[in-house]
């Protein structure tokens, strides 16, 4: 109890005012507590009671609150929210209370409910955050559609990407969407890149090919840790979504649908070769995914930094007090980072 702590401190030579300051209370509060303890023999927190007993001079009276409820429950306004009722009343030259007060009165009466088919917002849990501090630690994969000559029919592109390096680790194009095709793709990619047990986390959406028995059984057999996006949340798989957008908006993407499955596969092969080996990715300081995957990015970025420093030294008036462009290597990459990790990553990239 605070009173006992202050008493003990004073017995050891501390001043009462200083002891109160340490506990962040005033001497007046301490005297009030002592008086209550002397009279009643017990100390209780009465702040909530005092707040409830105090009535704001501008608060609505019971009659005014009932008038608000009567208006909201009338035949004319029974199906309208306060955001609609208040302007209508104002158009008629009538003011009862503010819109927020309408809502507060309805809430106190237990009548502030969602109307029609509207549902209360669901609180979704945060997705699992995964750290990729090196290649082949975290992959994401997804399926996207590629148009065919037949309207309404599509080829399915299965593609896996490394979160750390952004390198495309495996891909296949098929006519149908099945867990069997997905399992074969991931198994081949793991074999090619020599993935060992418990080394890799594989993240995907919640579709049936991602969570099928064939797919999950293969992951368990290989020792790959599965991870899934939250239901009905579209931005938990950002690296695959970004990759598909880059693919479909690049100048090389065909303007016309693919005529055959082989044509679609040939085009994807060319895109993957270009993307991994030539495309300077903005998320990894404009080195190629292959350079990043092979850990060549640090040397390349150090060279760029020296070039800029030399240019600034040669013509300092062009830079004045500004720093040269940041060419420091991108460190750890997070999939679905927490708020704390986001703030840390933002400060590191500044």
DSSP, collapsed to helix, strand or coil, labels residue 96 as coil
Half-sphere exposure in the Cβ direction for 216 (13 Å, CA): 9
Does the structure show a pLDDT above 70 at 347?
no
* C-alpha 235: how far from chain center: 8
Q: What is the mean pLDDT of residues 40-69?
A: 77
Q: Which CATH class is domain 127-350?
A: alpha beta
Residue 204 to residue 207: CA distance in whole angstroms? 8
Contact between 173 and 156 (Cβ < 8 Å) = yes
Contacts of 143 (CB under 8 A, 6+ apart): 156, 157, 158, 159, 177, 182, 207, 209
Query: For residue 199, what pLDDT is reported?
Result: 97
Min mean pLDDT across 5-19, 112-126, 127-141, 307-321 is at 112-126
Please report, for the chain, how many H helices and E strands are present, in that order.
16, 7
In tens, the pLDDT along 180-194 reads 999 999 999 999 999
Min mean pLDDT across 16-20, 272-276, 327-331 is at 16-20
pLDDT-derived band at 350 (thresholds 50, 70, 90) equals low
In tens, the pLDDT along 57-73 reads 888 899 999 999 999 99
Highest mean pLDDT among 9-13, 21-25, 35-39, 163-167: 163-167
Does the structure show a pLDDT above 60 at 348?
no
Domain(s) labelled CATH 3.30.420.10 in the chain stretch across 127-350
pLDDT-derived band at 270 (thresholds 50, 70, 90) equals very high
């Amino acid at each position: 109890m605070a009173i006992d702590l202050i008493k003990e401190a004073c017995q050891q030579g501390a001043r009462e005012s200083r002891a109160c300051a340490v506990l962040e209370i005033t001497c007046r509060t301490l005297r009030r507590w002592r008086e209550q303890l002397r009279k009643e023999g017990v100390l209780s927190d009465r702040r909530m009671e005092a707040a409830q007993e105090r009535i704001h001079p501008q608060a609505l009276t019971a009659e005014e609150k009932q008038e608000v409820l009567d208006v909201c429950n009338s035949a004319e306004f029974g199906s309208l929210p306060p955001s609609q009722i208040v302007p209508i009343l104002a158009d008629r030259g009538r003011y009862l209370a503010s819109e927020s007060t309408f809502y507060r009165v309805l809430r106190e009466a237990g009548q502030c409910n969602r109307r029609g088919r509207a549902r209360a917002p669901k609180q979704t849990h945060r997705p699992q955050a995964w750290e990729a501090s090196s290649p082949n630690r975290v992959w994401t994969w997804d399926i996207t559609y590629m148009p065919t000559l037949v309207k309404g029919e599509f080829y399915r592109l299965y593609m896996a990407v490394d979160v750390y390096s952004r390198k495309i680790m495996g891909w296949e194009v098929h006519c149908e969407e099945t867990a069997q095709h997905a399992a074969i793709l991931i198994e081949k990619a793991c074999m090619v890149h020599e993935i060992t047990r418990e080394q890799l986390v594989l993240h995907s959406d919640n579709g049936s090919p991602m969570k099928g028995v064939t797919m999950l059984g293969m992951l368990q057999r290989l020792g790959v840790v599965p991870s899934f996006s939250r239901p009905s949340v579209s931005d938990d798989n950002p690296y695959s979504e970004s990759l598909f957008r880059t693919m479909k908006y690049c100048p090389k993407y065909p303007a016309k649908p693919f005529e055959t499955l082989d044509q679609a596969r040939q085009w994807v092969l060319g895109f993957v070769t270009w993307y991994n080996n030539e495309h300077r990715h903005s998320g990894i300081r404009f080195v190629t995914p292959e350079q990043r995957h092979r850990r060549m990015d640090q040397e390349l970025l150090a060279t760029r930094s020296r070039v800029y420093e030399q240019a600034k030294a040669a013509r300092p008036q062009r830079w004045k007090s500004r720093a040269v462009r940041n060419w420091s290597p991108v460190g750890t990459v997070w999939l679905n980072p927490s708020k704390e990790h986001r703030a840390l990553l933002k400060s590191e990239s500044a």
